[in-house]
Amino acid sequence: MGTITNGSTDSLRQPFIDIVIESWRFSKLFSRVLFKLDPSEAGRYSNQQRYFLKRLDDSLAIAGLKIVSLEGQPYDLGMAASPLNIEDFGPDDLLVVDQMVEPVLMGPDGIVKSGTVMLRKVD
């Protein structure tokens, strides 16, 4: 496939990014479903999910891309993510990224796609 930015693949760039983001979202949803399963049954599906994520990461690496999660990091206005609930907090509140709604997608030259996050106040 080559790099995702060379001329012959430019028309594939946005659909590729879209499928990466949707794959990431599906994996997060799948994790929540696994948590609800009986542990003996969840183990098999958990292995399949790990395999899927490994394949996704390998495909991204070939394209020169990487998914970045900001969960647990202190929130900073300069982050490559837009908070959905920033209006719930005051200007002096210390905030942390509680949940990634969409991941940050990085390429060799920097940010390819900004993420979307939910914040929470640091206790």
Domains of the chain: which residue ranges? Answer: 1-64, 65-123
Nearest to 117 by CA among 99, 93, 94, 96: 99
pLDDT digits (tens, 9 = 90+) for 34-62: 999 998 888 889 999 999 999 999 999 99
Parallel, antiparallel, or unpaired for β 66-68 and 104-107? antiparallel
pLDDT in the model for residue 7: 54
Nearest to 100 by CA among 61, 71, 123: 71
DSSP output for 64-95: T-EEE--TTSBP-TTSSEEESSGGGS-TT--E
